[in-house]
Structure 1
C-alpha cells in the first residue's frame, strides 16, 4: 500500500496505440459505457460476433465425421491449437490443452499430478494468488490426499505489504528437496504485482527434488490469466512447465481456457477427464483402453468447438487492431503467427495499458484518504489499480460508480489471501482495470467519478 504527495510529478509518456481506431471495432462505447472491469472479462470486437454467425452456417462436430462440414470444422478447430501455440511461442499444438477457463486448467494440472505426489512432498504457492491457484492445492493437500493416507503440505510465500512484491527470500526458504511443484501468479489481479518468473524458475530448478525420471528440480506452474492479456509471453524462454490463461480476458466472448504444458509432461500424465475424443479410435476393450495422440488426449467429449475457434481468431485479430503489420490481415490469414509479430503486438498493448494505469494511479493519489495497493506508479504491474477510501465502503463506491457509467468492481477479486493478509475488514477493495480499447478520456472520466462519488458518500454517511 502506498500514497503519493500531491506535488509529486510523474512524466507522461506518449500514446502507443491509435485508440480511436481500436475502439471503432467495438460497440460498447456507443452505449455510453466506460468499461474498466477488464481484469474480469474484456469486450468482444464486432468481427468475432460476425465470425460466430458465419461459422454456425457450416457447423458440425469435429473428428471422426465424414461430412464436408465436419471435416471443415475439424480443420478450423485443429488450426486453433496451432494459433494458441504460436501466441505463446510453444513448440507445437501438442503442448496445448483447452478447458473452460484458467481455473479448470489449473485443476486439470492438479488432478493429473494427484497420484504422483509422494508422502512428505510439498507444494509451494504464494499469498498473492487468485483463489484458483491456491484452493485446488489446499483441497489436494487437506482434503483429497489425506483420505489415501498420503500427507502433502501446501506452503505459502509472503509478500511485502508496502510494495506488493513477492518475498523471494521467503519463497526460496520454503522450496526444498521435497517441493514437487511451485505455483505462482504471473501478474496479481489485486495488487498488480508481476513476480520475476526467471528468478522463480531458478529457485524451482535448484530445489533438489528428485523426479521419477532421475532428473531434479521442482515443476513450475504459472497462472497467467492477468499476464497474457497485456504482455508477450514466451513459454520456451521462461521455461515454465505449465502456464494457464483465459481467452475471455483477451477479447474472446466464450468460456475457453488454455493450458500450456511441456510435451513430455502431457505425454506421461493421466488425463483430467476421461471419455470421448481422448480415447484412441476403436481402442477400448474390457481389459485395456488406449488414449488418443496429443493434444487430443486432453479433449474429453465434445469440446467447446465454436468457442475454441473464435478464441483463436480473437488472438489473430489483435495484430490487426494494434496495426503492427499493415500489409497483412492476420484475422483472415491462415499463415502462422510469427513470434516477432506477437511480441510487437503485445508490447504495444502493454505500453498503452501501462500508461493508462500509471496516469490513473497518479490521479488516485490526489484523492484524500485513498490508498492504493501494490507497486507504485512507474513500476511494472498489471494494468489495474485496487484501492480503498477511508470511511467509504468499497461496494457502495463501485455501485455508485456504476450509476455514472463507470464499470468498476468491488470485492476480494478472488484474491482473498492477500486481502486478509493486509488486514482489510471487510476483505475487499474497489478495482479499475484497463484494456487496449480504453482511452485517456476513459481513465480521466473514471477517476473524476471516483472523486465525485467519494465526496458524495462522505457527505451522506448512511451510504458508506
Structure 2
C-alpha cells in the first residue's frame, strides 16, 4: 500500500514536470540561428530574435508614419499600435497602469533616467547604497552623480558599496543593512548578477529600504529602491505589484526583441513629481509653451521627449506576446499580433516553464564543468538561486583563450568582465575577467552538454601541451647540464 502511494506521488510529480516541459524543437523553428549551425550561449548579452519579429519590421513599414504627429490613417494606425505597446508591457509585468511605464533605449538609459530625475532632490549629507555585484550601468551613473555632478553644486553625497560573499556569490545583506541609514536616499540593486548568476532576495532588500527612516519629499520615511532587472526578467517571472519596488529597469534585447528598447517601470507618484530626463517633443503638453512657462505632458508621455523608436517599441511589445506563445504552445499563434487578452497568471505559467528549462540546462552544464580540474565556478551552487549563466575560470588558462577555442568549436560564449568590473576586482581576479556560458529557453540539453564538454576538452588539451612543453624543456636542460 505504501509503495503504491509512493508510486502514485512520483507519477503526479512527473506529470507536473511534464506540464512544465517546453517543446524546444518547435520553439527553434521560429529562429534563424539553428539553420546556421550556431550554438548560442551568450544570451546574457543578447538573445536571438524570432523570424516573426524580423518580418514584422517589413509589415509595419507599409504604414510607416510618425506617432502623435499627424491626422492620416497611417499615423492613427501606428499611433494606436504604439500606445497599445505600453499596455502590453504594463500587463506583462503587472504594473498598475501604462502611466508607470517609460520607454528608453536600454536598461542603462532607464537607470540614467532615474538618476537625472532625482538630481535636484539630493541634499548635502545624503548617501546612495549600491553593491559590488552591480553591472557598471547601475554603479557608474551613481558614481558620476556623487563624484562629478553634485560636487559642482556644493552638494556632498556619498556612494556606498555593499559586499557579497565570495564563496557563495550571495549579497551580504548584513553589510548592506549596516550601510543604510536615515540619509540613504536610494538603494540601487541588481535583480540578478550578470557575472555570478545570483538572484537577489529582493524582498529582504526592500525591507531594509523601508525601515531606513529617510524623509522623502512626499513625507514618506524610507529609502527608494531601484532594481536592475536586465538579467532577472528574461528568465524569471517578475511581478512589479508584488515586488513593490520604486523603479524596475530592463531591456528587450535580452528577451527576443531586436536592439534598441528598454523600460523603466516606476511608481506613478515618483514620475509625476520628478523632473523629466529629456526635454522637448512629446513631453510637452499640447500648445503649452510660452516665454514664461512650459507645461509638461501627462504620463507616460512626460518622459517621451522627441520622436521615439516607434517600430522598436511595437515589435518589443509583440515580443512579449510571442514569448507567451513560444512557451505555452509554439505551434499556435494565440497572443502574437492578436487582441487576445492575457493576465498575470498566463505570464507566470509561461515564465515558470522558461525558468524550469533554463535551470535544467544550467544544472547539466554545471555538473560537467565542475569535474574539470582547477576550475572555479562563480556564484551559487544551487541552480534555484541563479539564472542561466555560468561564469568560470580555470587555473593556468586565460579566459579569453578559452572563449576563442570555444568559438572555433562552434560555441558562442563571452570572456571579459561582462561589465561587472567591481565584482571581478572584488574577487582579486587578474586579469579581471572570466569566461561565461549563458543559456536561454531555445537552447537544447545537447547544446548545454556540448558547450561544457568542449570546455573540458580545451582545458585537457592545454594541459597536455603544457606537460609536453615542460618535458621538452627539462630534457633540453638536462642535455645542456651534461
What is the TM-score of this pair, normalised by structure 2?
Answer: 0.92
Report if the CA contact (8 A) 2:101-2:263 is conserved.
yes
Any idea what the Cα deviations from partners look like across 1:360-407, whole Å, max 9, x if unmatched?
Answer: 111110111111000004441011000001100000110110111100
Moved more, 107-116 or 321-330: 321-330
Any idea what the Cα deviations from partners look like across 1:126-170, whole Å, max 9, x if unmatched?
Answer: 111000000000000011100110000000000000000000001
Give the whole-Å Cα distance in 2 for the aligned partners of 1:99 and 1:311.
Answer: 12
Aligned to 2:61: 56
Question: RMSD over aligned Cα, in angstroms?
Answer: 1.6
Q: SS at 1:228's partner residue?
A: coil
Q: SS at 1:277's partner residue?
A: coil
Aligned to 1:420: 425
Unaligned runs of 5+ in 1: 1-11
Structural mapping, 1:405-444, within 5 Å: 405-444=410-449
Aligned to 1:358: 363
Report if the CA contact (8 A) 2:138-2:228 is conserved.
yes
Structural mapping, 1:204-283, within 5 Å: 204-283=209-288
Moved more, 244-253 or 16-25: 16-25
Aligned to 2:450: 445
Structural mapping, 1:196-207, within 5 Å: 196-207=201-212
Give the whole-Å Cα distance in 1 for the aligned partners of 2:383 and 2:271.
Answer: 39
Any idea what the Cα deviations from partners look like across 1:202-235, whole Å, max 9, x if unmatched?
Answer: 1000000011121110000000000000011111
Paired residues, number: 452
Structural mapping, 1:51-450, within 5 Å: 51-323=56-328, 329-450=334-455
1:358 CA displacement? 1.2
Report if the CA contact (8 A) 1:324-1:345 is conserved.
no
Unaligned runs of 5+ in 2: 1-13, 470-482
Give the whole-Å Cα distance in 2 for the aligned partners of 1:101 and 1:328.
Answer: 28
Aligned to 1:7: none
Give the whole-Å Cα distance in 2 for the aligned partners of 1:273 and 1:423.
Answer: 39
| The structure with more radius of gyration | 2
What is the TM-score of this pair, normalised by structure 1?
Answer: 0.95
Give the whole-Å Cα distance in 2 for the aligned partners of 1:454 and 1:407.
Answer: 17
Give the whole-Å Cα distance in 2 for the aligned partners of 1:194 and 1:27.
Answer: 30
Give the whole-Å Cα distance in 1 for the aligned partners of 2:30 and 2:49.
Answer: 9
Any idea what the Cα deviations from partners look like across 1:75-126, whole Å, max 9, x if unmatched?
Answer: 0000000111111100111000011100010001000001100100000001
Report if the CA contact (8 A) 1:361-1:377 is conserved.
no
Report if the CA contact (8 A) 2:334-2:340 is conserved.
no
